[in-house]
Amino acid sequence: MRRNSIPLKSVPVGKKVIVSELRSDGSALRRMFDLGLIVGTEIEPLYESPSGDTRAYLIRGAVIALRADLSGKIMVDYKY
CA 77 to chain centre: 10
What amino acid is encoded at 37 in this protein?
L
Percent of the chain beyond pLDDT 70?
95
CA 40 to chain centre: 11
The whole domain housing 47 covers 6-78
9 CB neighbour count, 10 Å cutoff: 20
What average pLDDT is seen over the chain? 92
To the question of pTM greater than 0.85 for the whole model, the response is yes
Structural domain includes residue 42:
yes
Chain length of the chain: 80
Task: Give the residue, 27 or 3, on which the prediction is more confident.
Answer: 27
Q: Report the alpha-carbon distance of residue 21 to residue 24 in Å, rounded.
A: 9
What is the number of domains present in the chain?
Answer: 1
Give the CATH number, domain containing residue 19. Answer: 2.30.30.90
Structural domain includes residue 1:
no
Q: Is the pLDDT of residue 50 over 50?
A: yes
Structural domain includes residue 53:
yes
